[in-house]
Amino acid sequence: MQYRTLGRTGVQVSSLALGAMNFGAVGHTSQEDATAIIDAALAAGINVIDTADRYSAGQSEEFVGEAIAGRRDDIVLATKATLPMGDERNHQGSSRRWLFTALDDSLRRLGVDHVDLYQIHRWDPTTSDEETLAALTDLQRAGKIRYFGSSTFPAYRIVQAEWAARANHLSRYVTEQPSYSILQRGIEADVLPVTEQYGLGVLAWSPLGSGWLSGAVRAGREITTHRATILPDRFDLTVPANQARLDAVEQLATVADQAGLTLIQLALGFVTAHPAVTSAIIGPRTLEHLTSQLAAADTVLPADVLDAIDAIVAPGVDLAAHEKIDTRPALVNPVLRRR
């Protein structure tokens, strides 16, 4: 396992992080399964576990909490808030009111008195940067969080938050958690240069492209990845972007074969090769999935392999740009771009 420094913090983290989104109802993963996956991940050298209150409505945090009991101090524990937790309109967002409540709820479910990294799951356009950063700074000073970060923020919002922290003498975000894979490289054009400029650690989610790069999606075969049952539109081959992804996967599989690698090793090695990326977050549902992904722990792709990938999917290009979830609100809501 490789280890890197997490942004400006001095904390050493593994190049593969364990994501817990599939623990619980979403991934049909039981407590026993989750504990076995965590045991194996820690034994392999992974020291980061990333979850969120939203995952299976808190069940993921509960499963993680039970699994890490008695060894919490050996783990860099990360969770998130902001996405809706129920139907009450104020049980979401990044206001002081909600973040204080949401963190206490997460700590209770996790069975801990603090988390190492608390992340704003999505930018909340209804709350000012100053309010959010002030709340997070106060939670940090209270000892409930060690550091805090953002997740899936567009580049300009990362910059805005950095300036708001400086102008108001508040603590700064130390990490960003974006979606990044061979098939979705858009953040190379804006987000990653910004995180490098400001010294943020980057924890990349969906490095296997929601299953497209897992080996389970190939031409002429039935699509068996679990994600296809949750998000069928993303695997509908009548959609041009999905056909483009399949075409790329077939070419990438050839590159992997020629390099003596699995497609998973190629995909994870690509993400961790970028100098701005600290860790790639893997999200196995089973021990078998974890084993196949751990095989990439020490994968280092040579320049000729990276060049071959660039020739298939160009730097800075998203093959499914319509799936991006960090789009500026005015590009989605016509009310915001009309007088």
- Token pair 């054009």 in the structure block, residue: 189
- Token pair 């409540």 in the structure block, residue: 101
The CA distance from 166 to 198, in Å, is 12
Given the residues 55, 118, 147, 180, select the one marked as catalytic.
Answer: 55
pTM for the model stands at 0.94
Hey, what amino acid is at 332? V
Give the count of alpha carbons within 13 A of 6, CB side only: 28
The CA distance from 315 to 204, in Å, is 16
pLDDT tens per residue, the chain (339 residues)? Answer: 999 999 999 999 999 999 999 999 999 999 999 999 999 999 999 999 999 999 999 999 999 999 999 999 999 999 999 999 999 999 999 999 999 999 999 999 999 999 999 999 999 999 999 999 999 999 999 999 999 999 999 999 999 999 999 999 999 999 999 999 999 999 999 999 999 999 999 999 999 999 999 998 888 888 777 777 777 888 888 899 999 999 999 999 999 999 999 999 999 999 999 999 999 999 999 999 999 999 999 999 999 999 999 999 999 999 998 888 777 778 778 888 888
User: Residues 243-255: pLDDT tens digits?
Assistant: 999 999 999 999 9
CATH at 148: 3.20.20.100
User: Number of folded domains in the chain?
Assistant: 1
Is residue 198 annotated as part of the catalytic site, yes or no? no
Residue 174: which of 9, 4, 48 has the closest Cα? 9
**Residue 77 is part of which domain span?**
3-337
What angle is formed at CA 263 by the lines to CA 261 and CA 269, rounded to 5 degrees?
75
